[in-house]
Every structure is written in C-alpha cells, then in structure tokens.
Chains A and B, each alone.
Chain A
Amino acid sequence: MATTDNEVKELIKREYEHGFVTEIEADTFEPGLNEDVIARLSAIKKEPEWMLEWRLKAYRRWLEMEEPDWAHVGYPKVDYNSISYYSAPKRKEDMPQSLDEVDPELLKTYEKLGIPLHEREKLAGVAVDAVFDSVSVATTFKEPLAKAGVIFCSISEAVRDYPELVQKYLGTVVPHGDNFFAGLNSAVFSDGTFVYVPKGVRCPMELSTYFRINAANTGQFERTLIIADEGSYVSYLEGCTAPMRDENQLHAAVVELVALDDAQIKYSTVQNWYPGDENGKGGIYNFVTKRGACIGKNSKISWTQVETGSAVTWKYPSCVLRGENSVGEFYSVALTHNYQQADTGTKMIHLGKNTRSTIISKGISAGKSSNAYRGLVKFGPGAEGARNFTQCDSLLIGDRCGAHTFPYIESKNKSAIVEHEATTSKVSDEQMFLCRQRGIDPEQAVSMIVNGFCKEVFKELPMEFAVEAGKLLEVSLEGSVG
C-alpha cells in the first residue's frame, strides 16, 4: 500500500502498553524444581497434608511425561530448572483482610492496567480477583456474593476453607496425567480463582480475574476451578498482561469448569500477555489447558476467547458433553502479528444423547506470524442425535504470514451430524481503497475490517469486554499495514 515506510516504522515503534514493571519487594524462590520446592510452596500457603500429597503425586507423574511437539509452533526448549516457581509481593500481614490493606503500589499497578480495584467495586458491578505473580492480592465484592451464597475467592483460600468442594472436583476435569503442562501446573500451581455457585442461584454479577505477571524469570501457574451447581448460572471473565522482557516467560494454567444439571457457565478471556518485540524477542509462552465438563443434563458451557498476546500460544478450551442435551460452545478470535505463533482451537467431546456444540473460530494473521486452528469433534457411542457445527475463518494481512486449519472429526455414532465450514480471505486492496477513498486512515481501515470479521465472536462477549477487545485488536494490529 502507499503508506510510506516511515509511517509504518513510527507505528511499529508504539509499544505494548502494559509493558511496565512494578517495583515492589517480593519473596521469590530460587529457580529450580524438586519435591522440596513443592513442599515449601505448600507450606507457605499453609495447605493441608492432602493438598501436598496431591501435588507430589502430580510432580512424580510429570517427571515421566514428555513435552508435546505436535503443535504447529516452534520455540527453544524450556529449561524447567531455570524458572522460579513462586514469587509474591512481601506483606506484613499474612493476607490483606480488605482492599485498604493491599499495598498501594499494587493498587496503582491495577489502576494503570485499567482495573482500578476500588472503583470497579463501586461502579462497574464486576467482582474482581486480582492475581499478581503467584498470589491473589485482592478479591472484591465478597460480601454481596456471600449473601447470594456464591463463593468467589482465591484457590489458596478455597483449599483451606472449602476443602470438601475442592477435593471433590479438583483434577476431575483435567487430571494430573492429562498432558505435560497440566501435570506441571498440578504440581506447582500457586494461585488462581475458585468459584462455587449453589443450586438455583443466578450469580448476581459478572465475576472476573485479572492475571498479572510482574517478576522476571518467574512462571505463572494459576489454577481456576468453577463449579455451577444444579440450575445455576455464572459469567466469568479473565484478563491477562505482563511486562515487556527480553526473556521468554512461561505461563501454564489449568482451568476446570463443572456444570451440573441445568447449570450454565459462560467463560470469557481477553488474553494480552506480552507478545515479544517486532523481532520476535521475548514474550510469554502461553501453554494452557482449559476444559469444562457438562456433567449434568441440559447443562451448558460457553467459551469465548480473544487471544492477541503471547509469543507462543498452545490452548484448546474444550467441553466434555456428558449430560443429556448438554451444550458446548467455543467462540474464538486469535490474532498473531510479527513473529507470534498460535496453535489454538477446541475439543468438543460428545458423550451424552442429543448433545450439541458450536465452534466459531476467527484467526487473523499479520506480519510474519503463524496462526493455526486445531479442533477435535468427537462423538462417543452413546451420543445419539448429537450435532456439531464448526465454522473456521482465516483472515490474512500481508503476504508473509500463515494460516492453517487442522480439523479432526471422530464419530462412533451413526446418528451424529457434523457440519464444517472453513474460509480463508485477505483484507483486499479493493476494501482498503474503498475505506481510504472515504478519508479513512489505512490503520483504522484495517482495524475496522478486522473488527467486522470478528463480529460474530465479539457479540458473545459481555459488553464491557467487547469494547476492550475491539480496542485491543486495534493496538495489536498497529504496524500491520505496509
């Protein structure tokens, strides 16, 4: 396009806006992983004996596992002994009892990120759990939620305060041995969010967790467990950012969702981890296992993700549709730019009768990036009358990027119906010319065209997040026109 090289360079220079580092005193473990490290971690968290045993079992299993290499991504091998497995801001007290006791530096950090914890509490009606490196630093709106019977706290608190619930469900959806990264997470997970919505309760507000990696050379291994009891409903949002650093950092999370009879869980993610610079240096390795189990009849789990960050993404939010008439949904926008690599998609495992699933995936590649959709739709012998609809669309910007689609379909039931649609398109010169002829800047035109391409997914996001996601795409696409 006719935009001059200088303009493009200027735009590229604009930096990742969440890339600052918070200067805060932290307790950080020496790098390295062994059973003693896990025992120390468990002790700091004052965990009961069973939790430590659970972690050690996972660790021993992990030692025997191989790192997966089937994804369409390439990165230097991670040295798991060079990572620190725990970093937490120093505090005088054991845990802050209210927001007023949270270190002001931390509150400032969240304000800079657009998550003013105090104000959110008053204004937006969204309850926030803020996780900073390895620990949850604040959870808002606890009281009104408690009145409704909803438990919303850090997973560390849940292990201590609600051991029955945690023991009953932890690891039931994503077991230790599920995959290499899930195994590692099970051994060393530091914090994360726990939600329990009791029978018949519609959670009175959106719940959200904001994850922030701050410390250098530290992995973040959060663990989230959400249980929606019979007939309940909850909508949960998660956002993520990290400082700009030259070294790659590992983020290996596990999220487990459990929906009982007639329950619904809506899980939305806006992932904006540091993607590395324009030469592919630095950035987060985002190796995440997210899975929901619709164990009850008529239950529903819906994943919506907007993935714009991370150097390498390996992520397949999935649904196991066990209950009769249960429904799984996956709506995804994955954008890669510069040297980013994403291998993302979903698995819909249909086990129960008349289970239904919908997959809408929008992949956008710019720069020299690589973007792959990988999806499995599987029908077990008992999945009478089950149906899936999949739509995978790829949009290319420029001619040095790649888009790939790897759909897998396995059916053991003849009555199951699968539909699969896939398209690949480019932001065309004609579209750009139309926009520019109407006086619109090339950058704004690309962002508008891409936003239009993602509309079907954005409309699934809660209002507030949809706006944020649109803006995020705009920022992430800067420098893509050239």
Chain B
Amino acid sequence: MLSIKNLHASVEGKEILKGINLEIKAGEVHAIMGPNGSGKSTLSQVLAGNDAFEVTEGEVTLNGDNLLDLETEERAREGIFLAFQYPVEIPGVSNLQFLRTAVNAMRKHKGQDEMNAAEFMKLAKEVSKQVDLDPAFLKRGVNEGFSGGEKKRNEIMQALLLQPKLAILDETDSGLDIDALKVVSDGVNALRSEDRAILMVTHYQRLLNHIVPDYVHVLAGGKIIKSGGRELALELEEKGYGWLGIKDDDTSN
C-alpha cells in the first residue's frame, strides 16, 4: 500500500530524515519507535504533506501513485489520516461542523452525496460513544479547552469517522493515563482491518501492549536502523535505546 524509498527531508535547511525505506501492506500495523529527535514526528508530518518540511530526495507512493505530488488535502482524500500529537484549537468552530465538513469533503471526492446535519449528528454520536466522549463535545469548539486525553480521543474519533486507508498515529499515547490509553487503544483496534494499514509512532513500548503491531522499526538519526517483530519492542523496553548504541536524552520515562 505505502512504499517509502530513500526519503530525505529537511526543515529550515536542516536535514532530519536521511534515507528512510519502508514498505507497508494493507492490513498491517507498523510501529516506529525511537528516541526524541530521531525524526519520528517529521516522518508523520512529511507523509501527511506539511509544507513546513521539504522533501529533498526519495519517493513515496500510495497504491502505486506518487504521494509527494499531492497537496495535503488531496492526500487526505486519498486516505492518509494523521492523528496529531498536539491537536490545535480552532476557537468558535464546533467540532460537529468541523467533522461534517471533513466527512463531506471526503464523500464529495468519492462521488457520494453529502450528509445533512441530522444524518451526520446521528453518526457522530455513535462514534463519539466508541471513544467514550460525551456527545456534548461535538458542540464545543474544535479542541477548545479539551484536556490532553480528550484531544487524543477526539483524534481517534476523527479516524473512525473518516475511515482512512492509512492511519498515522503520532505519539497518540503521550499524556494519557492508563484508562484513557485503554479507550484510545480500543478505538485504534476498531480501526484495524484487512484493507487498512496503521503506522504508529511512539517513544514507549506500553502502547504496543494494547495495540499489538505486526512490525516494529527503530528510527535513529533520521534512518531506520533496526526492524523486527513485536519482540523488538519488548527488548527495547528491557534494554533501553542504549542497547542499540543510541543516545536517548529523554529522562521522563
């Protein structure tokens, strides 16, 4: 489904990604782990098409089509979804309106009829229950005054509504307590399907206890330095990043 070949990317002239190679097939769940500053978030942003990052070399295809030629919104309509690490607030715009606009943009792209307010309300209420968000959140401004956990659940709710082909989860576990982590993980597991791929970016192993990946990759210095199965994550948890000769400056763990 997604094929990344020798991807290099920089921000403000500084090279962050230095030759990423990765193949993801439909139905698979991949986890990218790595210390802070390794380029994990940059990879998610670049795939989603954030203009702040410049791709200097390499190619990315989605089902054979060149992804890098597409605008952010076109990539989204082709099925790329990014669950943000720090979702931004949009004051005054209700979550409901935002979500309906997004869902209808996708439907329009697929040649489907747009959903009216009543139809969408019904759907949104169902999905909000799935991530244990009070439907009252639908009426609040996008992420406005949401707690960290609420923001993350809101992101997963959006993924469930938009039903992407590739869901990229950027540090979705950060800032979650154990109960919230469970809810978010259940939401992500509900997304798993044969025709969808999931790419999780995380610093810690604990998320992978809830969402069990098929493959684990370790990213360091802008390159994938080791790939393996589920057991690689457990080994990392036990031995730390130092085991692979990587410096991890995060001491919060």
Residues of chain A at the chain B interface (Cβ within 8 Å):
1-3, 428-431, 433-442, 444, 448-449, 451-456
Contacts and interface: CB of A to CB of B under 8 A. Distances in A.
Nearest to B79: A439
Contact of B97 (A433, A437, A442, A448): A448
Interface in B90-126: 90-93, 97-98, 101-102, 105-106, 109
A428 B102 contact: no
A441 B105 contact: yes
Interface string B155-188: 0001000100000000000000000000000000
Contacts of B81: 437
Given A3-B71, A441-B105, A428 B88 contact: yes
A456 B92 CA distance: 8
Q: Which one of A2, A431, A434, A441 has the highest number of Cβ atoms from chain B below 10 Å of its Cβ? A: A434
Nearest to B94: A452
A442 B105 CA distance: 12
Contacts of B197: none
B91 A433 contact: no
Interface string B47-79: 011111000000000000000000111001100
Interface residues of B, number: 30
B84 interface: yes
Contacts of B98: 435, 438, 448
Contact of A2 (B72, B84, B88): B72
Contacts of A428: 88
A452 B90 contact: yes
A449 B162 contact: no
B50 A452 contact: no
B88 A440 contact: no
B90 A437 contact: no
Given A429-B51, A431-B88, A437-B49, 8 more contacts: A2-B51, A3-B71, A429-B52, A433-B50, A438-B101, A448-B97, A453-B92, A455-B92
A439 B82 CA distance: 11
Q: List the 4 shortest-distance A-B pairs measured between CB atoms, nearest first.
A: A452-B92, A452-B93, A438-B102, A455-B92
Contacts of A430: 88
B87 interface: yes
A448 B105 CA distance: 13
A439 B88 contact: no
A453 B90 CA distance: 9
A434 B85 CA distance: 11
Contact of A439 (B51, B76, B90, B93): B76
Q: Which one of A1, A444, A448 has the highest number of Cβ atoms from chain B below 10 Å of its Cβ? A: A448
Contacts of B82: 437
A434 B76 contact: no
B120 to A, nearest CB: 14
A433 B72 contact: yes
Contact of A434 (B49, B51, B88, B106): B88
B92 A439 contact: no
A439 B71 contact: no
Given A430-B88, A448-B101, A452-B92, A436 B72 contact: yes
B141 interface: yes
B50 A441 contact: no
B92 A451 contact: yes
A436 B93 contact: no
A434 B84 contact: yes
Contact of B106 (A429, A439, A449, A452): A439
B91 A439 contact: no
A444 B76 CA distance: 15
Q: Which one of A433, A455, A456 has the highest number of Cβ atoms from chain B below 10 Å of its Cβ? A: A433
Nearest to B73: A436
25 contacts: A1-B51, A2-B49, A2-B51, A2-B71, A429-B51, A429-B52, A431-B90, A434-B142, A435-B90, A435-B98, A435-B102, A436-B71, A436-B76, A438-B76, A438-B105, A439-B105, A439-B106, A439-B109, A439-B162, A440-B105, A448-B93, A448-B97, A452-B90, A452-B91, A455-B92
A430 B51 CA distance: 10
Nearest to B102: A438
Contacts of A455: 92
Nearest to A455: B92
A115 to B, nearest CB: 26
B97 A439 contact: no
B144 to A, nearest CB: 9
Nearest to B83: A437
Contacts of B91: 452-453
B179 to A, nearest CB: 26
Nearest to B45: A433
Interface in B9-54: 48-52
A266 to B, nearest CB: 22
A244 to B, nearest CB: 31
Given A434-B88, A448-B97, A453-B92, A439 B50 contact: no
Contacts of B102: 435, 438-440
Contacts of A435: 90, 98, 102
A362 B185 CA distance: 41
B155 to A, nearest CB: 10
Contacts of B90: 431, 434-435, 448-449, 452
A438 B101 CA distance: 9
Contacts of B92: 451-456
Given A448-B101, A451-B92, A439 B84 contact: no
A439 B87 contact: no
B199 to A, nearest CB: 14
A448 B93 CA distance: 7
B115 to A, nearest CB: 14
A442 B50 contact: no
Contacts of A429: 51-52
Q: Which one of A429, A439, A454 has the highest number of Cβ atoms from chain B below 10 Å of its Cβ? A: A439
A431 B93 CA distance: 11
